[in-house]
Structures are given as C-alpha cells and as structure tokens.
C-alpha cells in the first residue's frame, strides 16, 4: 500500500480511503498508522504525523488537506443533475459498495453515487474524485461552466453573457508537492 514513486498525495490518499472504506469495523488506528508508515520517510506529512499524531481518520483527512492546494472547476449544473445525465455513459464508473454497517450510518443521508446511506451526493468525496478524473480526460467539457470568452470548451458558447450565474457545483482539483509545508506557492 506504500506511496508509489511519482504518485501524488491525493492519489495515494484516495487508494487508502478506498481500501479503508471496504473494512468493516472501527479500525481508525490501523488506517492512520498504515497511511503514515507507507508515506516516504522524507515526506513532510509523515514527519508532521510523527511529531503530532492524529487520533481519528477525520483529523487525518484534515491534516492531509493542510498539505494541498485547491483549484475549483465549476459545473453548469448541480452535481446530482450531472450524475443523472452521465450515469449511463460508458466512461462512467460506479464505486465499490462500502463495507459499513448500515445501522451505524446516518439514515437521513443518501448518496446517489454509492446508492447507500453514507453521506449526501453533493458531499461525496469519491464522486468528486471521479468527476475530477473525467474532467481531466475531457469527458465532461459540455458540463463545465466557463465565463464568456474563457477557454475553448465545448458548450462555452451556450452561456452567452451568463458570467453572473451562481456556482452550481465544484470539483476540487488537488495538487501536492512533497516537501512543501505551506499552501503559499512562494514557500
């Protein structure tokens, strides 16, 4: 499970969470320890986690987020509508079922992507990661919102003067640079 050479922190953490989500039970301590020891020894995040250990996966995720720089991609539609329009496309990938006890999950939440009661569709990290990958592959060009005159995306002409439209959904594209401890690019 070790972080691969030239693998981004984001990709590595995605692999870890996918595996962690398949494990039934309360094994936060194992997940945290495995994530940390499989980071390269020189990685600043590993050093930080050694100096100031975390006690929950939620706190680990927060710590990982401190090491990322986020850029937003804006969709023309709500993520639920985007999911509905792309779910039958050949490139659309459905997630693995989560191995969680349904009785321990919040029964008021429902994720259309997982088709389970784990979180809301708009807050589903796995879905956002998948959509981000599809954007990188150029498969969602006609669903991206571009202010008038920006970019050559398919569908950009459909917006006309709609640059004042409210944001309907975002993809958080995450870049990580090993050794960087600040989100300030000059540091």
| pTM of the predicted structure, to 2 decimals | 0.45
Q: What confidence score (pLDDT) does residue 91 get?
A: 92
Q: What confidence score (pLDDT) does residue 148 get?
A: 54
SS3 readout for 27-74: CHHHHHHHHHHCCCCCCHHHHHHHHCCCCCHHHHHHHHHHCCEEEEEE
Contacts 24+ apart (CB under 8 A), 64-68: 64/9, 64/13, 66/183, 67/9, 67/176, 67/180, 67/181, 68/9, 68/10, 68/174, 68/175, 68/176, 68/183
Q: What confidence score (pLDDT) does residue 147 get?
A: 58
Residues 126 and 115 sit within 8 Å (Cβ to Cβ): no
d(CA 10, CA 14): 6
Place of tokens 């495995």: 34
Q: What confidence score (pLDDT) does residue 153 get?
A: 39
DSSP state of 75: B
Q: What confidence score (pLDDT) does residue 105 get?
A: 76
Q: Which residues contact 171 (CB under 8 A, 6 or more apart)?
A: 72, 73, 75, 128, 131, 132, 135
E strand or H helix that includes residue 19: helix 9-21
Residues of the chain with pLDDT under 70: 66-73, 99, 102, 146-187
Q: What confidence score (pLDDT) does residue 146 get?
A: 65
**pLDDT tens column, 13-51:** 888 888 887 777 778 888 899 999 998 888 878 888 899
Q: To 10 degrees, what angle do helices 125-136 and 9-21 make?
A: 140
């Amino acid at each position: 499970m070790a972080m691969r050479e030239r693998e981004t922190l984001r990709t590595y953490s995605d692999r870890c969470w996918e595996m962690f989500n398949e494990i039934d039970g309360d094994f936060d301590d194992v997940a945290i320890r495995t994530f940390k020891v499989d980071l390269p020894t020189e990685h600043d995040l590993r050093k930080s986690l050694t100096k100031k250990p975390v006690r929950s996966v939620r706190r680990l995720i927060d710590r990982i987020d401190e090491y990322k720089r986020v850029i937003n991609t804006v969709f023309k539609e709500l993520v639920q509508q985007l999911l509905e329009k792309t779910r039958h496309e050949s490139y659309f990938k459905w997630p693995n079922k989560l191995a969680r006890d349904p009785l321990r999950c919040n029964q008021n939440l429902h994720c259309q992507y997982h088709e389970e009661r784990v979180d809301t569709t708009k807050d589903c990290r796995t879905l956002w990661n998948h959509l981000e990958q599809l954007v990188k592959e150029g498969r969602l060009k006609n669903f991206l919102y571009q202010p008038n005159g920006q970019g050559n995306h398919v569908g950009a002409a459909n917006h006309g003067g709609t640059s004042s439209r409210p944001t309907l959904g975002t993809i958080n594209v995450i870049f990580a640079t090993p050794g960087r401890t600040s989100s300030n690019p000059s540091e």
